[in-house]
Amino acid sequence: MQTSTKALSGAVADIDDLHHEKLLKAIFNLSLWNFGPDVIDALLELIVSLAASNGKHVDSCLDMLVSNFTPPNKVLDMLKQPRGLEKKERVLPRVHAALKNISELVPMAASRLSSIVLEQMPWKSKRNVDQWSMKRQLIYVENMFKLESGAIREFVGANMLKDVMNVLRDLDVAIGWDDILHDDSSKGVFMIELEDENYADGDEDADADGKLPSTLSEKSLSKNLTAELLDSLMVQTFEHLESSVSNKRLSEVFDTLLSSFKDTVLNTYKSKFTQFVMFYACALDPEHCGTEFASELIDMFVGGHNPLTSRMSAVAYLASFLARGKFLPPAFVASYLGRLVDWCWQYCVMHDGDMNPKLHQVFYSGCQAMMYILCFRMRLMVEIPLLKSQLFCMPIDKIFKHKLDPLKVCLPSIVEEFLKQAKAARLFTSSKTFVFEDLLVSNLSRDFGGLERLDMFFPFDPCLLKNADRSFIRPNYVYWKYVRTTYHEDIDDDDEEDGSDGEVEGAAEFDDDMEEVIISRSYGDNDLEMDEFDYAMNKMSITPRNNSSAGLRMPSRIRPSMSPESL
């Protein structure tokens, strides 16, 4: 095999694509995974020579190399075993080296490679995921990341990243809300962040009594192969981001991710988890990536030329990001909050009209974003004198007392929580009395939210993908449960956990079952039992049980949009 292949390499100029069609087909159908290193080298030399000798062979050569990103099924099965790993190390680096060689000899080949990689993707949207397609997709995406960071990244890197983001989004959208939420319309819209107590006992037949679980559940998702694939791909993506940090390429990667996010994820309201790629990238480099992300979102919101729904979506992302990003310092949050408040106030000055949810959608979404951020961050900000004075100088009360009356229009649950905290902090007290009756939505908020229900869009709600959340998101994430509000009295020092570095702590009352769980310990600590943490989280209720002022639930999980199916 080796000898004949080398002989063919010497005669590539004489190989005719018509007369030697069968020979070429036989060569291009070979799987490198079936051969030893010497034969692989000889075959790849032939492929490179073919591509360089005749432009007509370039596409077929690239096709052949890309098809070798995934091994045959028998090798796929043992990829995690030493034998499989050894084969992988034998084949894939050589394949990528051959792609590099072809790009050097035929510069225009690189522009063809991106589309060929996309065409050969194992999983396409609107297809079911099975175990085989999952394994193939995982190794395929691993190769895409290799291309993104490899020698020819200049030509194909950006496209690889965008294609991966598209795959994540497609998988995300394919996970229907029905898969993870059995909605009981009699219950209200917002549910607690995680499982309800019926599942805490691990009772698989919790619905045996006829009551369907009415909450979002990691357990529900774990039975879903699409979710499992998405989870694994998200982990791969996060690991790739981490390696970009080591290679000092994160800012370059982030630029592409941001562009892809604006094009494909921002306006995909069914996207539940894909956006956490941006979240994690910002967590890895808050100073640059975090700033760039927040700036892009605020610019998109204030940019009057942008479509209405994009602006509303951008401000929802901004609010959720500033609220949930544990890695964002209070001063950072204050600065973007200030820009948001300024815009809202300018809007009030320019519009002297009365309340009209449909006409002033963008304004109400801005106000709701302000309140949402303050619900999470007000306490932190008032504890720092400089930020407190900045906060108190913002024209917040003027905005909320304006004729446009945002307090009446915005989501009642957010308004209620905001008013309570603002009163406790002496930031703002409403002269009107709002009776929400524990409502989470109102007709007015529905009006300003529009068809896409952007009034209930909180894109960085807790991530339910187990592995992605546990190892990557959780250490960087603010859970509502652990937010100290302005009306909570601090508990005794002995009971308080050590919260260093400005981390948000849970000062709220704990359930009895959680007392032994240490929450704010570093997640890198080996002593931390993740299962214990999960168990505790599973039993967690967003409403502190022993809190007499309980009854206020932050809208931490939104109901799926009732609008017609849209991407």
Positions that interact with other proteins (CB under 8 A): 10-13, 49, 52-56, 58, 104-108, 111, 305
**Helix pair angle (153-174, 131-149), 10° resolution:** 150
Closer residue to other proteins in complex, CB, 103/244? 103
- Minimum CB–partner distance for residue 14 and other proteins (Å): 9
Closer residue to other proteins in complex, CB, 49/485? 49
- Minimum CB–partner distance for residue 11 and other proteins (Å): 7
- CA–CA gap between residue 83 and residue 181 (Å, rounded): 42
Structure tokens at 545: 């049980």
Eight-class DSSP state of 520: S
- CA–CA gap between residue 16 and residue 23 (Å, rounded): 10
Spell out the residues 6+ positions from residue 255 whose beta carbon is closer than 8 angstroms to its own: none
Closer residue to other proteins in complex, CB, 176/307? 307
Buried-state track 244-272, b at ≥16 Cβ within 10 A, e below 16: beeeebbebbbebbbebbeebbbbbbbbb
Closer residue to other proteins in complex, CB, 72/303? 303
The total of other beta-carbon atoms located within 10 Å of residue 304's CB is: 8
- Minimum CB–partner distance for residue 80 and other proteins (Å): 38
Closer residue to other proteins in complex, CB, 105/359? 105
Closer residue to other proteins in complex, CB, 56/127? 56
Tokens 């190769």 sit at which residue?
Answer: 143
- Minimum CB–partner distance for residue 264 and other proteins (Å): 18
- CA–CA gap between residue 45 and residue 65 (Å, rounded): 12
- Minimum CB–partner distance for residue 154 and other proteins (Å): 13
Specify the 3-state DSSP secondary structure of 343: helix
Quick one: which of 273, 481, 454 has its CA closest to 368? 454
Closer residue to other proteins in complex, CB, 53/520? 53
- Minimum CB–partner distance for residue 107 and other proteins (Å): 5
Eight-class DSSP state of 209: G
- Minimum CB–partner distance for residue 143 and other proteins (Å): 25
Positive or negative torsion for Cα 231, 559, 212, 510: positive
- CA–CA gap between residue 67 and residue 419 (Å, rounded): 59
- Minimum CB–partner distance for residue 16 and other proteins (Å): 14
- 183 φ, ψ to 5°? -85, 130
Closer residue to other proteins in complex, CB, 12/164? 12
Closer residue to other proteins in complex, CB, 17/383? 17
Closer residue to other proteins in complex, CB, 59/511? 59
Quick one: which of 81, 77, 82, 69 has its CA closest to 33? 69
**490-496: long-range contacts, CB 8 A cutoff, minimum separation 24:** none
- Minimum CB–partner distance for residue 101 and other proteins (Å): 9
- The strand pairing partners of 325, in sequence order, are 477
For 276-329, where are the alpha helices, taking DSSP H only? 276-284, 291-302, 308-324
Structure tokens at 522: 């570093």
- Minimum CB–partner distance for residue 305 and other proteins (Å): 7
- CA–CA gap between residue 336 and residue 381 (Å, rounded): 13
- Minimum CB–partner distance for residue 105 and other proteins (Å): 5
Closer residue to other proteins in complex, CB, 53/390? 53
- Minimum CB–partner distance for residue 99 and other proteins (Å): 15
Give the distance from CA 94 to its chain's centroid: 33
Specify the 3-state DSSP secondary structure of 272: coil
- Minimum CB–partner distance for residue 24 and other proteins (Å): 16
- CA–CA gap between residue 411 and residue 193 (Å, rounded): 18
Quick one: which of 466, 475, 550 has its CA closest to 511? 550
Closer residue to other proteins in complex, CB, 100/219? 100
Structure tokens at 190: 């917002």
Contact between residue 121 and residue 167 where contact means Cβ atoms under 8 Å apart: yes
Spell out the residues 6+ positions from residue 185 whose beta carbon is closer than 8 angstroms to its own: none
Give the distance from CA 181 to its chain's centroid: 19
Specify the 3-state DSSP secondary structure of 93: helix
Closer residue to other proteins in complex, CB, 16/89? 16
Contact between residue 234 and residue 240 where contact means Cβ atoms under 8 Å apart: no
Closer residue to other proteins in complex, CB, 54/520? 54
Closer residue to other proteins in complex, CB, 58/229? 58
- CA–CA gap between residue 237 and residue 265 (Å, rounded): 16
